[in-house]
Every structure is written in C-alpha cells, then in structure tokens.
Amino acid sequence: MKHGFVKGRRVWHGGAMVSRKSSPRPAPRATAAPSSAAIQKRTRQQHAQERAEDYVEAIADLIAGSGEARATDLAKSLGVTHVTVIRTVQRLQREGLVTTQPYRSIFLTPSGRKLAAEAKARHETVAEFLESLGVPQATARADAEGIEHHVSPATIAAFRRFLATGG
C-alpha cells in the first residue's frame, strides 16, 4: 500500500499497514497521524481575515487620531501603496466592514468598529503581556502585530490572568 525508498531501502509507514483486503472499501486509512495536527484552516480566508483586522484597526486608529482615515495615510500606516489600500478597502466594503465613496475618506460600519475594537483589545493585551515579560517595548509592539491574529481566546485569557496576578 505504501511505497517509497529511503537510500534505496524500502520502508513502510508508521507500522499501520492496514489490510485493504479485510475491508472492501478502502476505509479511512490509518496513516501516520502527523504530530502537529494542522487543524489550521490555512485557506485564503484566514489571511483575508487577518488583513481585514489589520485594516479596520488601522482605520480606527487614524480616525481616533485625526478624525478621518484617508487612503494615503492608511497606505503609509500599513506599509503598502495606496493602490493596494484602495483595492483592499473595496473588498472590506463588499464585506460590510467599511463604507467609502469616491474621493472621500473611509469609515467603519458598526461591524467594522466591532472587529476593530476586538482586534485592538487583543493587540493591547498581547503587547502588554510581552512587555511584562521583559521584551523591549518596540519589539513587543512589533511582535504583537504579528501574533495577535493567532492567539485563541484561551491564550488571551491566560495572558490577562498573568497580567492580573502581578506579571
């Protein structure tokens, strides 16, 4: 059932070696279950969701800071060109997270605001947590940007617990 060579020698997988004979239908093969199970939905939607959070959070920050979010400032804030911003904002509008009109700045819808608030809260927690561990502030903030999208509620809760009990 398995085939393959390792330096010329034939090998089999994980010792499973299920008998195809015993079950007419192939049946779910007992393949060596990978240790790091990769339940990860690493589809494009995952990245799209992260982008969406980055954008709404940046938009919220810009609005909080200067009253409006313009494509150019957003581009600067996110480190991409304004073209990319415009196209991504179009997608976000399609998804109901933001509203915008030609030559006008960008606003968050209620659900966009909600998402931004959640993302920001996670972001803050992660950053504070890393700082409390002794990571330099600049590094902590930079890492938090990358990490925030991948922490489950349970992990965020653990971070908060740690901070609360005098990290």
Partner DNA sequence: CCAAGAATGTAGCAAAAGCTACATTGATTG
Partner DNA sequence: CAATCAATGTAGCTTTTGCTACATTCTTGG
For 5, the 3-state DSSP assignment is strand
Yes or no: say if 115 and 94 are a contact pair by the CB < 8 Å rule: no
Residue selected from 61, 70, 128, 143 as contacting DNA according to rule CB under 7 A: 70
The DSSP output letter for 111 is H
Q: How far is CA 4 from the centre of its chain?
A: 36
87 binds DNA per the rule CB under 7 A: yes
Residue selected from 34, 35, 38, 43 as contacting DNA according to rule CB under 7 A: 43
CA dist., res. 100 & res. 104, Å (int): 6
Residue selected from 102, 134, 153, 166 as contacting DNA according to rule CB under 7 A: 102
67 binds DNA per the rule CB under 7 A: no
Site residues (vs a copy of itself, CB under 8 A): 2, 4-6, 11-14, 31-32, 34-42, 47, 57-58, 61-62, 65-68, 70, 73, 76-80, 104-105, 123, 130, 133-136, 139-143, 145-147, 149-152, 154-155, 158-159, 161-162
Cβ neighbourhood burial of 149 (10 Å; 0-12, 13-18, 19+)? middle
Nearer to a copy of itself, 95 or 160 (CB): 160
What is the nearest approach in angstroms of DNA to the Cβ of residue 102? 4
CA dihedral angle for residue 71, residue 75, residue 81, residue 86, rounded to 10 degrees: -30
H helix and E strand count, the chain: 6, 4
Residues that bind DNA (CB under 7 A): 1-4, 10, 20-21, 26, 29, 42-44, 47-48, 51-52, 70-73, 80-84, 86-88, 91, 100-105
